[in-house]
């Protein structure tokens, strides 16, 4: 295992311990563990990534993937087109997360966040 791979593995283990979110690097899958519901896991991983500096103010607004008009994270609870986010949660001061997604979408967005800001 290279130093880079070792560092990523340690970061993923810390994420799991602190948020209950498991990212399997071998097959790029995400699992939510523990007693929390999917929305709380989603909020926890985003809060963790922001507080630990993986996601910075310069990364926001953030849209996972390409060609999307809906922000996942923004400094105001609105999307690119001015529409209000649905079920927006202020995860840290001045950063809003849209939480109105089904469980599979939350896991897909969690996977994208980890790939974009932790392991790449």
Compute the distance between CA of residue 118 and CA of residue 45 in angstroms, rounded to an integer: 11
pLDDT of 33-82, one tens digit each?
A: 978 899 999 999 999 999 999 999 999 999 987 767 899 999 999 999 99
Q: Decide: pTM greater than 0.85.
A: yes
51 Cβ contact list (under 8 Å, min separation 6) = 92
Give the pLDDT of residue 67.
Answer: 66
């Amino acid at each position: 295992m290279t130093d880079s791979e070792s560092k990523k593995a340690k970061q993923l283990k810390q994420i799991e311990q602190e948020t209950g979110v498991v990212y399997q690097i071998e097959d790029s899958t995400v699992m939510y563990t523990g007693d929390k519901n999917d929305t709380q896991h989603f909020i926890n991983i985003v809060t963790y990534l922001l507080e630990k500096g993986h996601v910075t103010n310069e990364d926001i607004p953030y849209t996972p993937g390409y060609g999307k008009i809906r922000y996942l994270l923004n400094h105001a609870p609105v999307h690119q087109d001015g529409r209000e986010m649905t079920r927006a949660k202020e995860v840290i001061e001045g950063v809003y997360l849209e939480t109105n997604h089904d469980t599979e979408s939350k896991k897909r967005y969690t996977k994208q966040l980890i790939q974009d800001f932790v392991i790449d």
